[in-house]
A and B are shown apart, each in its own frame.
Chain A
Amino acid sequence: MKVEPQANIDAKEFVKLTFGKTRILLPAEELLTIEPGNSVSQPQDVNDIHGRITINHTDIHVYAFDDDLRLQPVMDNQRQVCVCLGNGHGQIGILCDDANAITLNEIKLRDLPACMHTNDSVIFAIAENNNNLYCISKTADLVQLINTPYQD
């Protein structure tokens, strides 16, 4: 485990997603739009895990996660906000409790400690800013979670 800062960044734009007490930062350039959760269409088939939202005439699949980023059925999910994300390879919506674009100054990026890595890790760095800590991830890593069963 390295304890020294991996890198310092003067300022960086992020979108912050909140799932209960879990806070995740994604690159701001991957943010398409933030919509109210009630604009997400519920799955028509009870077996469908995802809902849908239409952004710029495009249907986007919407997924829900619990606080540990385990995939949950969108049906009857209580999250209030839908964050629509795109990384050039596709678009998805993610339900969360809160989301907002933020600018953080003087971030220290640190490696995730070695004992915290798992086969399905999606957090590889922790950002420190003004004594606050944030998990850093990317849309592509969250998409990977949708395709990967949760491993206990």
Chain B
Amino acid sequence: MHETAQNSESTCKAWLLPVGSIHVAIGEYEIVHVIAGWQRYIPVPRSPLWCHHVFLWQGHLLPLFDLELFINPAPVNTSNTNHDTRGIVAVIAYEINEGEICYGGLKLSAPPAIRVVSDDEICDYPANFSGWDKTALSCFKDPVAGPVPILDIQKIFCPG
């Protein structure tokens, strides 16, 4: 009994999200929907390269966030980011002031997979991006994907 209680305190479930050549993770209850297939994304001029489109989901207006472009925006022209209507998008829920729930879309390169993460898997952030400490809460080592930052969703969708 004692061992079981200890085990439940030190593990949790997370979604492993493939984003281009990297993986990130978010909490088990932060994905509320996965869109796979056609979806109309509307470009918003002069918005960031990595967050250049909006779309409607269940009556809500959501930004579409491309984490791969956020990490490495340099070589991309906005015309290349427009209207990839066939991708996979995770609709993510997060809480802001006093229980208000907000939603955002995160572009994925493959469907998400659930993963049990334990405290003893904590590791340093990957070296491919210097801003992980500002956009992630922690990082764990996956046996296949390597270091996986756990995203701080509020900092992604509500910067500043």
Q: How far is the CB of B21 from chain A (nearest CB, A)?
A: 22
Q: Is the CB of B62 within 8 A of A113?
A: yes
CB closest chain-B residue, reference A117: B47
Q: Is the CB of A3 within 8 A of B60?
A: yes
- Interface residue total, chain A, C-beta cutoff 8 A: 33
Residues of A within 8 A of B42 (CB): 23, 126, 133-135
Q: How far is the CB of B79 from chain A (nearest CB, A)?
A: 7
Partner of B44, one of A3, A114, A123: A123
Q: How far is the CB of B156 from chain A (nearest CB, A)?
A: 7
B129-160, CB < 8 A from A: 156-160
Q: How far is the CB of B141 from chain A (nearest CB, A)?
A: 28
Q: Is the CB of A68 within 8 A of B157?
A: no
How many contacts A-B (CB < 8 Å)? 97
Q: How far is the CB of B147 from chain A (nearest CB, A)?
A: 24
Q: How far is the CB of B96 from chain A (nearest CB, A)?
A: 8
Q: Contacts A110-B61, A113-B61, A113-B62; is A118 near B45 (CB within 8 Å)?
A: no
B residues in contact (CB < 8 Å) with A:
40, 42-49, 51-52, 54-56, 60-63, 65, 78-79, 82-83, 96, 102-104, 156-160
* Sampled A-B contacts (25; CB under 8 Å): A1-B104, A1-B158, A3-B60, A3-B61, A3-B103, A19-B45, A21-B43, A21-B82, A21-B83, A22-B43, A23-B42, A24-B45, A67-B79, A68-B45, A112-B44, A113-B51, A116-B63, A121-B47, A122-B45, A122-B46, A123-B46, A126-B54, A128-B61, A133-B54, A145-B46
A residues in contact (CB < 8 Å) with B:
1-3, 19-24, 66-69, 110, 112-118, 120-123, 126, 128, 131, 133-135, 145, 152
